[in-house]
Amino acid sequence: MLRLFLLISLTCLVRSDAAETCPSFTRLSFHSAVVGTGLQVRLMLYTKRNQTCAQIINSTTLGNLNVTKKTTFIIHGFRPTGSAPVWMGDLVEALLSAEHMNVVVVDWNRGATTVIYTHAANKTKKVAIILKEFIDQMLAEGASLDNIYMIGVSLGAHISGFVGEMYDGQLGRITGLDPAGPLFNGRPPQDRLDPSDAQFVDVIHSDTDALGYKEPLGNIDFYPNGGLDQPGCPQTIFGGIKYFKCDHQRSVYLYLASLREDCEITAYPCDSYRDYRNGKCTSCGTPEQSCPVLGYYADNWKDYLKQKDPPMTKAFFDTAEKEPFCMYHYFVDIISWNKNIRRGSITIKLRDRDGNTTESKIDHEPATFQKYHQVSLLARFNQDLDKVATISLVFSTGSVIGPKYKLRILRIRLRSLVHPERPQLCRYDLVLMENVQTVFKPILCPKLQM
């Protein structure tokens, strides 16, 4: 019976452009999802020499897997329709271009495909046992646990955790991409991914209000846009199927972006998203201490993150709505000298010598300006302008009736967090008329100021 399945998937899914027969990820119909599927785990090996054509391997035949190299397992999650994950090919390709390694796609589509989530979740421990058997064989042939890396998506993140636990946390690394929340929320560490499952565990949470897990699960937990709703994803059911999975899948696309290296997604260790938004968490981003970067290279911060007690850090950042997702953060502080308190938001527009402009509106919460007090704000821009020629500011209280206010600024200072080595930009003695744009040339801040 198993062979028959294999044969069907082999014959039905031949890539028409390839001369040889390349096995591909199991694709099932929605009918299978309705009737449910029995568990079957296929391991598909991709290497630098076979980047697009997988070799099917198992615990008796490791095939062309080179045990002296790093091995990255990619483990998908629940498949309610039976389709193949759309991002899988891109992830394999991006990993292989980042490093010479073995990439093993863990195809447990038979098992994950069911309309009943509980049934898929119930198979995660069994998948982990099958992977353990395979890894034991790799070890027997000379592989090292240090060199084993698991990328688990949704339910796959917990599967990775179960495998890691069977090796007492000696696996090199686990990355959890929006680990599944339902049925796992609030469970004890042995029933879910946790920081003790590998030498380094990093997690991206992108859908904590629906399919994802809210609480931290790793040595570092990244919460893009606070972890709830992702920009560019439909917010209503009218967005169709995307409405259900866009936020959840965003974790995978953010991770992928880190491999493409168009830009680095910097994250800010912080207790809460609100504190991050209010500019309270910018202790990294100084020339002495860099901020952690999301994705494949997050393990560069491993030693630093593991020193903490407990060794868990939450990190927040905002993203743009599409690739490469990066936003560039500036720390803005303002000292005002109005006699009375002013509350409002500030829009900052930067322009460089070539005429490129980028704008940041800081309006998630009105800032409170008080005489001689320093107000710190976090400005987020879509573009990174290296040489800022002019800055324009608009102050708004948000009220349409009533008097127009002025904001008297004693000093404004902008500091790039992504490029702390860049000179800080200052300006003194400005008066902002409400809702009127004020444009000025920044001057370099005197040295010694922090």
Ligand X SMILES: *[C@@H]1O[C@H](CO)[C@@H](O)[C@H](O)[C@H]1NC(C)=O
Q: Which residue, 50 or 170, is less far from ligand X as judged by CB?
A: 50
Q: Is the Cβ–Cβ distance between 213 and 192 less than 8 Å?
A: yes
Question: What contacts 423, CB < 8 A, 6 or more positions away?
Answer: 444, 445
Backbone angle region of 320, left / alpha / beta, with phi > 0 → left and psi within -120 to 50 → alpha:
beta
Q: Which of 385, 410, 426, 430 binds ligand X (CB under 6 A)?
A: 385
Q: Which residue, 118 or 236, is less far from ligand X as judged by CB?
A: 118
Annotated catalytic residue 196 = no
Task: With contacts defined by CB under 6 A, name the span among 46-54, 288-296, 340-348, 436-444 that binds ligand X.
Answer: 46-54
Burial tier of 1 (Cβ tally within 10 Å: 0-12, 13-18, 19+): exposed
* Interface with ligand X: number of residues (CB under 6 A): 23
Residue 192 assigned ligand-binding role:
yes
55: contact with ligand X by CB under 6 A: yes
Q: Is the Cβ–Cβ distance between 407 and 318 less than 8 Å?
A: no
Three-state SS string across 222-278, please? EEEHHHCCCCCCCCCHHHCHHHHHHHHHHHHHHHHHHHHCCCCCECEECCCHHHHHC
Q: Which residue, 149 or 395, is less far from ligand X as judged by CB?
A: 149
339: contact with ligand X by CB under 6 A: no
Q: How far is the CB of 121 from ligand X (least distance, A)?
A: 7
Residue 408 assigned ligand-binding role:
no
51: contact with ligand X by CB under 6 A: no
11: contact with ligand X by CB under 6 A: no
Q: Is the Cβ–Cβ distance between 347 and 253 less than 8 Å?
A: no
Which residue among 248, 336, 384, 396 is the active-site one?
A: 248
The phi, psi pair for 399, rounded to 5°, reads -95, 140
Q: Which of 51, 66, 347, 376 binds ligand X (CB under 6 A)?
A: 66
Measured between alpha carbons, how far is 251 from 89 in angstroms, rounded to an integer? 16
Q: Which of 17, 288, 303, 354 binds ligand X (CB under 6 A)?
A: 354
Measured between alpha carbons, how far is 392 from 425 in angstroms, rounded to an integer? 13
Q: How far is the CB of 326 from ligand X (least distance, A)?
A: 12
Q: Which of 8, 12, 68, 436 binds ligand X (CB under 6 A)?
A: 68
Q: What is the CA radius of gyration of the chain?
A: 25
Identify the H or E element spanning 439.
strand 438-440
Strand 220-224 to 313-317 pairing: parallel
Task: With contacts defined by CB under 6 A, name the span among 51-59, 208-216, 272-280, 419-427 that binds ligand X.
Answer: 51-59
Q: How far is the CB of 68 from ligand X (least distance, A)?
A: 4
Annotated catalytic residue 154 = yes
Instruction: Give how far Cα 45 sits from Cα of 21, 49, 61, 104, Å.
Output: 14, 11, 11, 5
47: contact with ligand X by CB under 6 A: yes
Task: With contacts defined by CB under 6 A, name the span among 117-125, 273-281, 389-397, 441-449 that binds ligand X.
Answer: 117-125
The partner residues of 415 in beta bridges, in order of sequence, read: 331
Q: Which of 40, 51, 52, 58 binds ligand X (CB under 6 A)?
A: 58
Q: How far is the CB of 96 from ligand X (least distance, A)?
A: 12
Annotated catalytic residue 158 = no
Q: Which residue, 53 or 418, is less far from ligand X as judged by CB?
A: 53
Q: Which residue, 58 or 392, is less far from ligand X as judged by CB?
A: 58
115: contact with ligand X by CB under 6 A: no
- Closest to 252 (Cα-Cα) out of 333, 188, 156, 144: 156
49: contact with ligand X by CB under 6 A: yes
Residues 236-255 contacting ligand X, CB under 6 A: none
- What tokens appear for 234 in the block? 């439909």
Burial tier of 338 (Cβ tally within 10 Å: 0-12, 13-18, 19+): middle
Task: With contacts defined by CB under 6 A, name the span among 59-67, 91-99, 327-335, 373-381 that binds ligand X.
Answer: 59-67
Residue 352 assigned ligand-binding role:
no
User: Within a 10 A sphere around the Cβ of 119, how many other Cβ atoms?
Assistant: 16
Question: What contacts 110, CB < 8 A, 6 or more positions away?
Answer: 5, 26, 28, 37, 38, 39, 40
Which residue among 178, 202, 221, 384 is the active-site one?
A: 178
147: contact with ligand X by CB under 6 A: no
Task: With contacts defined by CB under 6 A, name the span among 66-74, 75-83, 199-207, 291-299 that binds ligand X.
Answer: 66-74
User: Which residues would be at the binding site for ligand X (CB under 6 A)?
Assistant: 20, 22, 47, 49-50, 53-56, 58, 60-61, 64, 66, 68-69, 118-119, 122, 354, 356, 383, 385
Catalytic residue positions? 154, 178, 248
Annotated binding-site positions for Ca(2+) = 192, 194, 197
